[in-house]
């Protein structure tokens, strides 16, 4: 059985999700590695070892990370990504272009105009189903807690009874177990890993770095993921 940890990142027309699929062994290994990283940061810079690995404040030098030097914060990103790709995981990355989605739905007279977060999350679920079927196993979805969690659970139940809407990768998600489980990211290193993936995924696609050093580091982080061969069917819609 696999676990799929999911988080999102959005800005402007970009609405994206990252999913990190791992079995119990990879989940344990990545969690241990991230805990070791934070224990070292705690010793060196005096922040709690339980501090959340959260992409936005780490990158922007905020919250608990405001007194941690840039080189250390960049190093944390690299250590997180290296810990992820060192294990037998599957990385799901998908984003929806908000304006193009609305234009497509209007142009084709969609009977229901689905919001971008629903479309993108559905695409993540379809890819988790695809990976599960290929590996002849089942997957439990664990997502970062959110205010509209009940609506996502309802949609998930509908997908399993009526199938996902449209003909694109149409499926009843029979390889995904139970319901979507939501958990607070500050209590889960794996959700934090998904957050870090989502943050870099969004930034690579939405920001042209003005500092050449930042541009180089972003390229290195992105290449760590791509070159690992662990990214499955990445892309955007429409």
How does residue 111 score in pLDDT terms, banded at 50, 70 and 90? confident
Query: Would you say the pTM of this structure is higher than 0.75?
Result: yes
How does residue 203 score in pLDDT terms, banded at 50, 70 and 90? very high
Domain made up of 2-237: CATH architecture:
2-Layer Sandwich (3.30)
Q: Are strands 176-183 and 231-237 parallel, antiparallel or unpaired?
A: unpaired
Q: Which residue has the tokens 């580091």?
A: 217
Is the preceding peptide bond at 98 cis, omega within 30 degrees of 0? no
Burial level of 71, CB count in 10 A (0-12/13-18/19+)? exposed
* H or E stretch at 222: helix 212-228
Per-residue pLDDT tens over the stretch 51-66: 999 999 999 999 999 9
Q: Are strands 14-22 and 2-11 parallel, antiparallel or unpaired?
A: antiparallel
Measured CA to CA, the distance from residue 166 to residue 189 in angstroms comes to 35
Looking at residue 183, what is its pLDDT?
98
Is the pLDDT at 123 greater than 90? The verdict is: yes
């Amino acid at each position: 059985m696999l676990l799929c940890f999911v988080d999102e990142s959005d800005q402007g027309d970009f609405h994206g999700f990252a999913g990190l699929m791992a079995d119990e062994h990879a989940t344990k290994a990545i969690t241990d590695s991230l805990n070791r990283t934070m224990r070292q940061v705690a010793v060196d810079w005096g922040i709690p070892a339980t501090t959340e690995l959260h992409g936005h404040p780490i990158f922007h030098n905020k919250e608990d990370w405001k007194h941690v030097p840039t080189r250390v914060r960049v190093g944390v990103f690299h250590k997180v990504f290296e810990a992820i790709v060192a294990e037998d995981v599957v990385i799901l990355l998908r984003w929806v272009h908000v304006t193009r989605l609305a234009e497509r739905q209007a142009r084709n007279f969609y009977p229901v105009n689905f919001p971008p977060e629903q479309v993108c999350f559905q695409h993540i679920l379809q890819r988790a189903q695809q990976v599960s079927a290929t590996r002849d196993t089942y997957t439990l979805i664990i997502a970062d807690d959110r205010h509209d969690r009940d609506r996502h659970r309802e949609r998930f139940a509908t997908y399993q009874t009526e199938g996902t809407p449209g003909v694109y990768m149409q499926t009843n998600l029979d390889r995904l177990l139970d319901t979507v489980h939501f958990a607070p990211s500050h209590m889960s290193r794996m959700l934090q890993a998904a957050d870090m993936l989502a943050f870099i995924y969004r930034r690579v696609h939405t920001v042209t770095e003005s500092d050449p050093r930042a541009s180089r580091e972003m390229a290195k982080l992105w290449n760590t993921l791509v070159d690992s061969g662990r990214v499955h069917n990445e892309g955007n819609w429409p």
